[in-house]
């Protein structure tokens, strides 16, 4: 199976996980998804100092800077497969 197809299947599977993952795992899935589909973050973090969720999400995505889209897709697919059981 081609990596892009594997990734798209993992995205679909992530919506039907047997249990909702914890916040740390959800954040990692978010960051890997963004890195896979967009690449490195190119925007500054949120300006609102009280928008904690947006700040954490931006920080998680920024932490993947330099990781290739392909590597992020594979890591995303592997994580979803692990969560799926």
pLDDT of residue 68: 98
For residue 35, the number of C-alpha atoms closer than 13 Å in the C-beta half-sphere is 27
CATH 3.40.50.300 fits 3-84, yes or no: no
In a structure prediction context, what are the per-residue pLDDT tens digits for the chain, which is 85 residues long? Answer: 799 999 999 999 999 999 999 999 999 999 999 999 999 999 999 999 899 999 999 999 999 999 999 999 999 999 999 999 8
* Spatial CA neighbour of 57 closest among 69, 72, 45, 75: 45
* pLDDT attached to residue 48: 93
What pLDDT does residue 41 have? 96
Q: What is the pLDDT of residue 38?
A: 97
How far is it, in rounded angstroms, from Cα 60 to Cα 76? Answer: 14
């Amino acid at each position: 199976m081609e990596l892009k197809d594997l990734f798209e299947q993992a995205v679909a599977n992530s919506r039907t996980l047997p249990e909702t993952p914890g916040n740390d795992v959800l954040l990692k899935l978010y960051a890997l998804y963004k890195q896979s589909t967009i690449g490195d973050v190119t925007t500054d973090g949120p300006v609102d100092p009280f928008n904690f969720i947006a700040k954490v999400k931006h920080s998680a995505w920024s932490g993947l800077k330099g990781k290739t889209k392909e590597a992020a897709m594979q890591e995303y697919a592997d994580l979803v497969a692990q969560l799926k059981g």
